[in-house]
Structure 1
């Protein structure tokens, strides 16, 4: 494994998408402890809600950039493992399609 994409749910309900090349548990612990001043340090506690390992760092970086650009409903479908909804939620005007 070269890198891991992860999503954290912050105390305020927002999502933080990140990438690590180190052990995922260690990275999440750093977020939880507020080790680095940043978004998650101001929105503690955080909870790991999704992760995906990649063999190539370039693939992980591409996935992180993609997910960071998604709306909340699409991120939540990914978190729930409802992969079949991702193309539907990619279409224009697909907001609020939770009833599917």
Structure 2
């Protein structure tokens, strides 16, 4: 069963990362306030990034990976600035 990892832009400009087997239905549920608590309070949301996988398990793993990223790194992914991803992974002390 196919799976998707997605990023939403919320009305307050925050980013939400999730995974699903039905992207159209999931975005609709977010906009109806019937999905995640984060998006429920920040509607409407807009789908701004999507990755497709052969399984929902792989999509869920990718979701968890992206959730640990900084906003700057997520924006680089969304904007296809792949050369910046490694740079934004470095920790600054």
State TM-score, norm by structure 1: 0.85
CA separation in 2, counterparts of 1:54 and 1:31?
A: 21
Q: Which position in structure 1 is the counterpart of 2:81?
A: 82
Q: 1:56 to 1:37 in 2, by over 3 A?
A: closer
Please list every run of at least 4 consecutive aligned residues from structure 1 whose deviation after the TM superposition is greater than 6 angstroms: none
Q: 1:28 to 1:89 in 2, by over 3 A?
A: same
CA RMSD, Structure 1 to Structure 2 (Å): 1.6
CA separation in 2, counterparts of 1:58 and 1:84?
A: 27
Q: 1:19 to 1:37 in 2, by over 3 A?
A: closer
Q: Which position in structure 2 is the counterpart of 1:7?
A: 7
State TM-score, norm by structure 2: 0.91
Question: Which blocks of at least 5 consecutive residues in structure 1 are unaligned?
Answer: 95-100
Question: Which blocks of at least 5 consecutive residues in structure 2 are unaligned?
Answer: none
CA separation in 1, counterparts of 2:81 and 2:92?
A: 19
Which structure has the bigger radius of gyration? 1
Q: Where does 1:46-57 land on structure 2 (aligned, <5 Å)?
A: 46-57=45-56
